[in-house]
Amino acid sequence: MLIFQVVTVFLIAVAMALSLAHALEYPGKMRLSKEAYLTTQCIYYPGFTIGGFGEALGLVATLVLLLLMPRGSQAFWWTLAGFLGLAAMQAIFWFVTQPVNRCWVACLPLTNAARSFFSVASKSGSDEGVDDRWERLRDKWEYSHIARAVFAAISLISLTMAVAIYGRS
């Protein structure tokens, strides 16, 4: 059980690292011009997309850990808090961040897998539609990552508490 708990905490740490990296970029990115900002957004793919597998695996591992914890114990409640934080991260990603990601990658040459992930039909060759609303999209994207970093921190702290408490019982 201990090895599984450590692996789960590691996966949550990966999710925390990715979301925190985006959140820490916020002050600098808010100073960028439109052209510089849109260019910067293109550098995140595929790196952060690949790293996102850790987040998905962390959610599944935390759910399994939750099911293994003794019901009603302190470790159970801390694990539940961690799971809910990860679920909130996922909800923010799919309903807030991902729709904006589609705009950022619309001009990139994508593999078939990436096209499926982003639900982008094909390379359009322009950022039509982004020009007039890029600041609104930027703010939505940036704030979603700050919120995700907060939930990642809650999850990491909660899971670490659960593992520590479980190990003492």
Tell me: the pLDDT tens digits for 39-92? 888 777 766 767 778 889 999 999 999 999 999 999 999 999 999 999 999 999
- The CA dihedral of 147, 118, 8, 158, to the nearest 10 degrees, is 10
Looking at the structure of the chain, the number of domains it has is: 1
pTM for the full predicted model? 0.86
pLDDT tens-digit readout, 85-135: 999 999 999 999 989 988 887 777 777 776 777 774 444 444 456 777 899
Residues 6+ apart with CB under 8 A from 52: 18
- The domain of 98 spans 2-168
Cα 108 to chain centroid, rounded: 21
